[in-house]
Structure 1
């Protein structure tokens, strides 16, 4: 969690309990933004296949903390994986390297 907070400049209380795509929406000013669509597709593959999905380098701009409506350009290298990896039932988990 600390790595996410550091990479995004967000506070823990802002993210706990928040829907991921409410906390990190696509930039509405960028008609070419694909972050939400690409991440959704990756998480769906993890759920369907039960295996990690390496998305490669992805541009996914994030809201700039304290600057309403502003977005910061970011590139991520996410690997989405089932968690826990050996349980009979699991949920996808996103790990990213910035």
Structure 2
């Protein structure tokens, strides 16, 4: 296996019924990113983009319990899990560009 990923793949797994408009809109946003591929050097920008979207939606829906999302890397497998949003399992998966 390669040591350093060249890209990150947006993987959205499962998902349960959301409880309010805020959660619904954020879940829709994450579904829109499903399957997208980003260069590994842009990883911090991708994470910040997702966190900023949660903040933006918090302001748009002030009557809902605000989202507090972060990313966590649980092990050395380079996977970055979105935490603080239990309705979808969103993971930035490492991907490798292989030239034949």
With normalisation by structure 1, the TM-score equals: 0.34
Q: Which has the higher contact order (CA 8 A, sep 6+)?
A: 2
